[in-house]
Amino acid sequence: MSVEPVSCTIKSPVALQIGDTVSDLSRPGVYITDITLAEPVNIQEISFKNYYTAYLTVRVQQREDGSVKWVTCLRNHCLMANPHAEAGSHDYFSIYRQQDTEWDVPAWLSTLTPVETSLDLKGLPDPETVSSSIQQMWALTEIMQASQNAASIGRFDVDGSYDVKLLSYM
């Protein structure tokens, strides 16, 4: 299944504040980012680059039979295991929609397993799937290998000359 990017408008994040005025002493811990789509679309994947967000909640506005409702798809999904340390602060994430669910609310998974692969509950992937994807990978690596100049001892000179005058930096 190919995923195509959907055009959308991303508004600047708005802080959730208690009370009317923004005071210097209290800093908001929650920001809301509104993303508007041009037309209703079945979203399969949301990819983003993090910048110091520790927990993510995703709410989606669904249209059904003329009525509009907000549903929470993902609540407090952890992006940074320790909010006070750097790990995960600049990382890239993808969250995927899980198709088969018993509930009306679509459940979202954050693993990198693509949608059509069923998760083996024992924790190990299905050997057939691994084997077939390895076949594909090998085909790819054959192409890559053929196009590379496989020199195990790489040369650093150019036609025998390595008269370096000065280092260049931007």
Partner 1 sequence: MDEGSDPSVTIAQIVQRLKGTHLHSQLEKQAKECLHRPEIKLESLKDDVRRWLKASGWERKLQNAVYRELHILTPPGHPRAPPEHTKEPLAYMRKAQAGWEKRIMKSLNSMCTELGIPLSRKRPVPEQKELTKKWNEMGTDEPDLSKFRPVYAPKDFLEVLIGLRNPNNDRSEEVTVRSHWGLIQVSLNVCDISQMREMYPELSFTYGQLGIDDHTHVPPDLFESEHIRVGKKVVSAQDSAAAQQYSRQGCPTGLRAQLWTLILNSDSDPEDLTHYEQLKARVIQHDLLVDNLIYKDVKLTASNDDYYFVFEDYLYQVLLCFSRDTSVLEHFNYNSATPPKSSIHSKSGSEQFSVVYPPNGVIPFHGFSMYVAPLCFLYNEPSKLYSVFKEMYIRYFFRLHSISSHPSGLVSLCLRFERLLQTHLPQLFYHLREIGAQPLRIAFKWIVRAFSGYLSTDQLLLLWDRILGYDSLEIVADLAAAVFAFRAENLMEVTSLASAEAVLADLSTLKVMPLLQIFLFATAV
Q: Is residue 1 involved in binding partner 1 (CB under 8 A)?
A: no
What does the block give as tokens for 47? 């990819």
Which CB sits closer to partner 1, 63 or 165? 165
Where do we find the tokens 């995923």?
A: 3
Which helix (H) or strand (E) is 129 found in, with range? helix 127-147
Interface map 65-84 toward partner 1 (x if CB under 8 A): ----------------xx-x
Rule CB under 8 A: choose which of 89, 101, 103, 149 binds partner 1.
89
| Cβ partners under 8 Å of residue 101, min gap 6 | 107
Taken in order 110, 116, 117, 118, is the CA torsion positive or negative?
A: positive
Identify the residue whose tokens are 């036609």. Answer: 159
Span 90-149, contacts to partner 1 by CB under 8 A: 90-94, 111-113, 123, 125, 130, 133-134, 137-138, 140-141, 144-145
Quick check: helix, strand or coil at residue 128? helix
Among positions 15-34, residues that touch partner 1 (CB under 8 A) are 27
Tokens of 129: 């799937």
* Residues lying near partner 1 in the complex (CB under 8 A): 27, 47, 49, 51-52, 81-82, 84-87, 89-94, 111-113, 123, 125, 130, 133-134, 137-138, 140-141, 144-145, 150, 152-169
